[in-house]
Amino acid sequence: MKEWSSLCKSKVGDTADVREQCVIAMDDGAYKISDDQYFLADAFSDEGEKKLGLLSLYWACSEPAFRRAYYRDVENDDMAVCRPPPELLPVGAGGPIVRLKMLLALLVLTNLWSTLLIVLCLMVRLFIRA
């Protein structure tokens, strides 16, 4: 598995090194690098050697999740849920406000209204300080 930081430096048309890592061919030009790393590529021949020209990179929690997103294979989705690598998130994502929003959503879902009121009071204090 390659680190996302190095994969993100790749550009369209770069040659994917299939010898360096275990690349598993899927369907329609899609390739699996690891459990959560996938890419699309065009196969071409350079001096008789088969190479892959990178088109795009994908992150997914699992292969069924990738198949749902790319092939629209909804029936076989495993509904896996996981956090994306930090390198793929926009700058500043996952900060305190995002965490508070996630906490609020969780509290609403679990019907913990008294806790929700406490969290709202804390949020108001945070915004007043900012």
- Per-residue pLDDT, 130: 46
Least confident among 4-8, 59-63, 118-122: 118-122
* pTM score of the predicted model: 0.62
More confident residue, 82 or 97: 82
Q: How many CA atoms lie within 13 A of 26 on its CB side?
A: 19
Helical (H) or strand (E) element with 119? helix 113-129
- Whether pLDDT at 51 is above 70: yes
What's the DSSP call for residue 50?
Answer: E
Each domain of the chain, given as residue ranges in start order, spans 1-83, 90-130
DSSP 87: G
Asked if 63 and 32 touch (Cβ cutoff 8 Å), the reply is: yes
Q: Is the pLDDT of residue 114 over 70?
A: no
DSSP 8-class letter at 19: T
Q: Which two tokens stand for residue 21?
A: 């890592």
